[in-house]
Structure 1
Amino acid sequence: MNADPDGSQLLTSPEVEDLLRAAVDHGGGSLVSWQLDHVDAHPQRSTTATYTAVVNWPFGRRSELLGASVRVGGRTETDERAVIFANGVREVAVWLYPRDPDLPGLIRAAYPEQVAALLHAYEITPELLDGSQIELEMVGYRPRRRAVLRATVPIAGVRTVFYLKVLRQKLFEPTLRRHQLLLGAGLPAPQVAAATEDFLLVLPELPGRPLAHAIFDPVAPCSAEQLVGLLDAMPREVATLSRRSPWTDAIDQYAAMVAAALPPMEPRLRWLVDQVRGGLAGIEPGNEATHGDFHEGQLFVADGRVTGLLDIDTVGPGRRADDLACLVAHLSTVQRMSSVQAARVSQLLRTWIPVFDARVDPVELRLRAAGVVVSLATGPYRGQEPHWEAETDQIVSAAERLVRSAG
């Protein structure tokens, strides 16, 4: 019997070095050193991890990012794009960034020269730029799920920013349709400057500044009424799109992920699951037009108003309480704040939550927010933060406070 079917132990232990070394050797290099960078674990289903590594190549020494996946039940079709190694009864797919087996467009988005050619081919830049003229920065990378890169380019003497959104094939057309739908309804979603055959979206930078930064401003960055109004302005056609399950539907899974990383927390997590599940039992899924992942990282603001709405991949039918709870959950778990910043975020929550309570059921709002918080508790371990145990405890405590405030 395999005691580690999802590979979670293998991929987070020193034993993975043999696989990483074999993968680098296969590519013609020699592994010098490595360190676990990111873990995406789905207990009893799959584990994906990335590793920062130093590699000696024939052309010299370079820092690299390696990825590895293990799935219960064996490899998938896209795993074939990686190098497959057998480890006991398991098969491990290993790749070298940017050759992510589920994100074929990342190979082009990761290199300035190729980005320059892409921007010129779609007439975004009037002339073909040299790769050295493009500043390319990784904004986010969820291995085998998605990536976003920021490209700063000179156009007519002005530094102009575009975002390259790298998607899986099955999500590409649905995401493009959602952009078109929201833009057609006049919502401040990003324009689509290019949509490519290798599943890349090129999006111009939105006006304003991220709400994630503005929440620390001395004055309110926008009003709760504006946030509710933005969501309520989504076209009714959104409710006809495919449904994405709300975060609370997967609370058992997220709680299991946290408990696997921190077993002493299991009783607290079990209590949270019982409270949220029991409190939301019997509530219909809902057919309102929803964003699906609505929080301060998805919004831009300027002059006291909302100027942009990001990451609309999850737009579809649901309950307004899910969107508002997602925002409450994120604001309730901001990490590493100064005392001044914490006071300002607390003031926003005290001001905004009564407005949200008038739009949705207050108990449902808090229970759904607690469910989202449990999903966020997987983040510190996934990202291998330096003090991930303490941060996880703080996040779980925030979920407990929300449940208790629901009465």
Structure 2
Amino acid sequence: MTFLLLLLALIALLYLGVPMFAALFLLPLAVLYVVEGGVPALGEIVIGKLNGYLLVAIPLFLLMAHVMVRGRVVDDLYGAAFALLRRVRGGVGIATVAASTIFAAISGSSVATALTVGKIAIPQMLRYGMSRRGAFGVVAAGGTLGILIPPSAPMVLYAYVTETSVAALFLAGVVPGLMMAAMFAAWCFLTEGRAKAPPDDPPPARIGTALRRSLWSLSLPVFVLGGIYFGVFTATEAAGTGTLYAIVIAALVYRALTLKDFLEGVSEAARTAAMLLMIIAGAAVYGYMITKLRVPQELVGLVADWGLSQTEFLICMMLLLFLLGLVLESFSIILLTMPAILPVLAALDIDKVWYGVLLTLALEMALITPPVALNLVVIKAITGAPLMEVSRSVLPYMLMLALGTALLIAFPGIALWLPRQAGYGL
């Protein structure tokens, strides 16, 4: 099958040490040179893909995440959650899930969520009697919520590639995101004993201060999503105004963001965005090759020949995405698969918003599945624990993500109900 052969060739290049953006250029150029003698209008292909207003939202959302991380906003988020839940069975784990959920809605980044929450939460969880395996697992899994609960950079990229409404995608991620957070919290409740009584309970005044300060960070996702939902601004404008709002919170309310921190955040966001744009440029050439080789038509014909239903096709795709997640990161998976898959979605009448949430769940699993498991690497870096120990800690959460995916395939309304209530004709 042509599509699988091309994917295997690309993965082989990556294992040889070729950077992703270079592999995405070299493979199509070599194939098209053999098939067609070259690539006419290469510049037009690349510029045409990069010349998109929506792409501006990605570096802005990345900068918003950096600002909130460097502003140490998560300190009060975790402090407030811990103050409320510390005496509940598994309360420190549930507090970590709560803090991860809220920070995910602020940062839109899984790695940032796992790193920032993990630095604060893991010592607290171990201190109050949670097992090492439980502490590592809940932080790694809680971090995955960063790309499902909006705003989400992968969702923005998916919306751009598939020409889907960003607002509809963001709304579609809310209920599944909360569902997964509830599963993670329930697991902590069932598997972890009652937390030890803290020997130094914070006084009520300190708890009240943490709760009041956390309201500022809680207002950020409400501001961003509310503005999009009510049509006040587009997704790109939401990213810009949200970043400005984050700067105000971190610099003026928390007084924790210095000019040096801000400039370092800008530099990191710019480097990440530049890397992503190079990959998008390469993916444009890769998509052109896919089209020229008539891979989408081949896939549509294959699905028709096999008589696959919606459910059967989605199960096959989830398995493929899981395998790709073993060797590729989120953005690459989106860019590599969607040019070939889009016509199949149309042929099977699969809603693009529904598939976008399913794809995001598959990407979440990739974040905690070795060898390319960024969240596990983050936990290892924070704690110094062996990677094998960290990997074992996420096994229950991988099963929960698989269960969540199965529920979403069986009941698409879990994702589509909220966008429909908002007036999107899905």
TM-score range normalised by the length of the shorter chain: under 0.3
TM-score between both structures, scaled by the size of structure 1: 0.21
Which structure shows the higher helix fraction?
2
Larger RCO (CA within 8 A; separation ≥ 6): 2
Taking structure 2 as the reference length, the TM-score comes to 0.21
